[in-house]
Structure 1
Amino acid sequence: MARLNVNPTRMVLASLKKRLSVASRGHKLLKDKRDELMKTFLDLARENKVLREEVEIMISGVYQNFSIANAVMSSQAVEEALMYPKQGVIVNVDKKNVMSVDVPVFDFETTTNDVTDIYSYGFATTSGELDAAISELSRVFPVMLKLAAMEKEANLLADEIEKTRRRVNALEYVMIPQLQETIKYITMKLDENERGNQTRLMKVKDMMLNEAIEEKRAQDEAMYNEYKETHQ
């Protein structure tokens, strides 16, 4: 792992250690977030599967009833019966926060107070299968809205999981090793400089000691010579 191109000083070393500490904490938090997102996503995927199967069964029943209605009624009669819908809906979109991800929440309200007022035709000229199809569509609509919100939530969570995974990998395999390598390099460089300084200090100390010894020896010799001259 290539180290950062920085000056090997104590100030830089302290700054890098702080960055490493922050990166390590961020890495742990992001890993926890990724794991929690994965757990939420898997639970959502299982719930989504069950709900989708339920919707498919209900839709299949609607198609079956429509097919029978088309068989016992003329196409023109079916089109006329469904030409002017009696009931309408207004879809409301809200959002909720799931692990820092804003996901949609769908709700609806009918345009009339009576939610069962869904038939726009008289029962005399239509078949019971058409009534059953309309009734089943009325029941499946809120379930489909819930499924749509759930699938959108799953897509958003999957995107967030991928983003979080990339950040975790960038910290784990690039940034943190790079900081550790640089800190190791600066520490070794500073230790090497300190050993060099200690060696130089020891040499200076030895030189000063030798000079002091030579100076003392010269003083002793001068005093000895002076003593000899005095007592001759």
Structure 2
Amino acid sequence: MTKVRSRLWRKNRNTNLGVGCMGVDLNRNFDINWSTASSSIPCLDNYHGRGPFSEPEASAIKSIFDQYIDRIGLFLDIHSFGSMILYAYGNGVLPPNALMIHLLGVRMAESIDAVKMSWNPNYIVGNSAMVLYDDSGTASDYAQSIGVPYSYAYELPGYRFGIGGFGFFVDPAFIEQAGFETWEGIKTGARFIRDNFTKSKQSLS
């Protein structure tokens, strides 16, 4: 589909919508402020679906949360592009532990910035609505709302070379580098949770 018909396709392939269009934006299908900053029109890219968790992919992630929520200290939702680490909530309201979320986000960003390509900008860290735009029904917001202490959306870099950009069309030559530097940020987050997970849960209870 994305190779031969629509390179920037972002929805799933649900064909049971009762209209001539296909797919639901899965990152607008979670039960957190659902439908408040997304589209009810099935043909649009940010169509949120018929209801929260109407899609099997989003429902499957919910099932994992339901089963393992007491063991989850960090949730990362990887997107592109923009060199950003974003956190809840998509309506601009901050969670009670927003300062701690921000500080860990900065630490992860610094780990990425230390190994990134020199022509790429440093990562921006902040609330998704304040840094990017309002959104609703996202996986990272949902994770935060049900008690995951640290939940983020990564926006990967677009590799610009200083003379224009690839944006979503990252040259295959840079895929390995993107994975390498992103992994540095993930490791920093994982190590923090390893050392502070119990304390993080207690601060939210």
What TM-score bracket applies, with the shorter chain setting the length? Answer: under 0.3
Q: TM-score, normalised by structure 2?
A: 0.25
Q: TM-score, normalised by structure 1?
A: 0.23
Which structure has the larger Rg over C-alpha atoms? 1
